[in-house]
Chains A and B, each alone.
Chain A
Amino acid sequence: MIEERKPSPNVLEDLFWVVIHGRGVWHTGSSTTLARVLAMAGVIAGRESYYYMRYDDSPERVNIPMMFYVVMGNPRVEVLLPEEVEPVGRLFNAVVVMDSVSLLKETSQRATLFDGVKDDAVFVVNTGLTPPQVLALLKKYQLTRDWFGKLVTVSASKYHTNVAFGLIGALLRAWDVVGLEDVLNALEALKIDEGAGEAIASAYKDASVTEVRIHAEESGATGRVGVKTPEFRPGPWNVETYREYQRALSQARSYEDRVKIMPRWEAMAPGLIEFGPPPGGKNIGFKTEFARIEAPVIDKSKCVDCKLCSYFCPDGSIDFESVEVDYEYCKGCGVCARVCPTKAIRMVSELERVEGLNDPELRRLALVTREYGY
């Protein structure tokens, strides 16, 4: 007998949504574990739960910021059409960040970590930094509005090689949609052992929770960069029109902004033509600095100007003439440091290069074998 479902007047109150931010391929495996366990725990706690990732959020491109989602609904509430739950802008109750470099960066959707996040959201960050340091980074790079939630920091690789378990323990500390008991049952149902339960329990004990009350004005954030949407023009377009849109796209700071900038389809009729850069130029509409975990730093005193780094750069981001790194496009793969015959190029953590901070959790990222999600 199926229970009759009735629409809830406040359906978003009944929907619990977790978003996981990590690095493509490096964190695909641990994100899958985290999402599976949470979703199973949600089912055990009596909620309709599932997890998913979207192709556009790049779970399978090395280094590229990626996202996983876990949704826990109330089975007694009918699923509503998207237009009935407007505004859909604020969905996420909890945000899990797998590495502290993500705190400096945009997501692959050109958005901040706070995009689509509720005002009372819980942030869980896997880092060796202290909560005030994390908070300062969030204020500087991500926060553009009110936040009255909780910040939990945990050094998750201390508990298990798979950082998912430490992060689950930390999340449970500040979030009560599923309990510790549900998660331990979920581990049993999914046949995950290898010390996962102990890892979750001890991370639950150790995690430090900080209550955060920040108003937009006092956050010190510069605020969202206002994007000027180019005026709509009926097609066909010429190169200048495209350049105008591409420049606007490069300034967008949220997914909503990007959608706003996209022209109506009529503009592109009769054919879908895109104008690339002129020879010698670069794709100004899509900068790829968000992919960088480590950054190459060139010691000019050791450089013998052999041009091998420029020749072998997969992203063409080392200038041929000046041998300078273009940090707007460099993805931090490290090929240049490998091919340099005089070892003039050194890879340093992006967090260290930009902020001068040293996060031991990031060093471990390079040491542990990468897990794969498939």
Chain B
Amino acid sequence: MSGERRQFKSVKEVPPEDYYTSGRRTCAGCGPALAYRLVLKAAGVNTVVLGPTGCMYVANAHQFLTSPYAIPWFHTQLGGGGAAGVGTAAAFRALMKKGKRRLEDVNVVVFGGDGGFADIGFAGLSMGMSYDYPRLLYVLYDNESYANTGIQASSTTPWGATTTFTPSGKVRRIGNERMKKNVALIMAAHPGVRYVATATLWPPLDLMNKVSKGLGSGGPSFIHVLVPCPKGWFTPPDLTVELSRLAVETGLWVLWEHENGRFRLTYKPSPRKHVKNYMQLQGRFAHLPASEIDMIEEVTEREWEIWAEMDRTGKLMVP
């Protein structure tokens, strides 16, 4: 089956149909909801969506007898996203082989949160990436906390953030003292992997084009999407896209793709903005003094030397 890899050049080319439609329980200004909408727009109508438990499962699922999904969707257990994705893809392959279903490209998109893919369902995700099912896409929508249960720290919560589990106080002033786990780099280190990328809501079309590339790559693919969460990041709901833009322009969120063994930065901020532009907007970093924000800026600066090196050589390194 050949991979179709439609790349959008302008926002006006984007298909107007939504498959994750209006009428759902998400917050106003929900970043994950926007990511769902754009990913499914890019994937198209021939798609099956799976979702491990998370904020978006509870929010987007039924309110009584209604559903916002215009395409097949089902809920999997919190740790089971990876396995359910492989199982669904395997079922489609078996049915087509036996002639019980006509041959066609069916996309299987599994959306997991940072709990569903970076913490609890991490093993399943890693297992899924080691198979060779085409048109199987894992999307990690990363709002940097367990937002469904009240903003608890996960392994992708950035250093310094206040969460329910890591409140900033008099004794432990910093908040979260763990560093953010780079799930996409770990996924790129899997053998034989075709396409791994990071994305966020900005620049426009970047996320949709990466989804399109991933689904057409001929193997399992993974996209790590940073999505602002107005509730968990303590920001007004209208800043959702603005924060995505600043995360990219300050270099705190690096946009790259790893395609068939070749690493490439897809956006190079020049000149890179100071990280305070991004962090000062968010209530979860409000307790950090300027000296610590400067320290984060220094660390980011050093990491960017390695990102640039990776971009030159095309090889994976660990910043």
Contacts and interface: CB of A to CB of B under 8 A. Distances in A.
A226 interface: no
A133 to B, nearest CB: 26
A321 B16 CA distance: 8
Interface in A287-321: 287-288, 291-292, 306-308, 311-317, 319-321
Given A288-B23, A331-B28, A316 B67 contact: no
Interface string B172-215: 00000000000000000000000000000100100000000000
A158 interface: no
Contacts of A331: 27-29
Nearest to A315: B22
Contact of A279 (B14, B45, B67, B201): B45
A192 interface: no
Contacts of A332: 28
A62 B23 contact: no
Contacts of B26: 61, 314-315
Nearest to B36: A314
A114 B187 CA distance: 53
B240 A307 contact: no
Interface in A94-136: none
Interface string A240-271: 00100110010000000010011100000000
Contact of B29 (A245, A314, A317, A319): A314
A283 B28 contact: no
A282 B67 contact: no
Interface in B1-58: 11-12, 14, 16-31, 33-34, 37-38, 45
B66 A314 contact: no
A63 B27 contact: yes
The prevalent SS among residues of A at the interface is loop
B282 interface: no
Contacts of B23: 277, 282-288, 329
B124 interface: no
A370 B237 CA distance: 11
A329 to B, nearest CB: 4
Contacts of B104: none
5 contacts: A62-B29, A242-B65, A279-B71, A280-B16, A331-B28
Q: Which 3 A-B pairs have the closest CB atoms?
A: A283-B23, A334-B238, A285-B66
Interface of B: 11-12, 14, 16-31, 33-34, 37-38, 45, 59, 62-71, 73, 150-151, 164, 201, 204, 230-231, 234, 236-242, 283
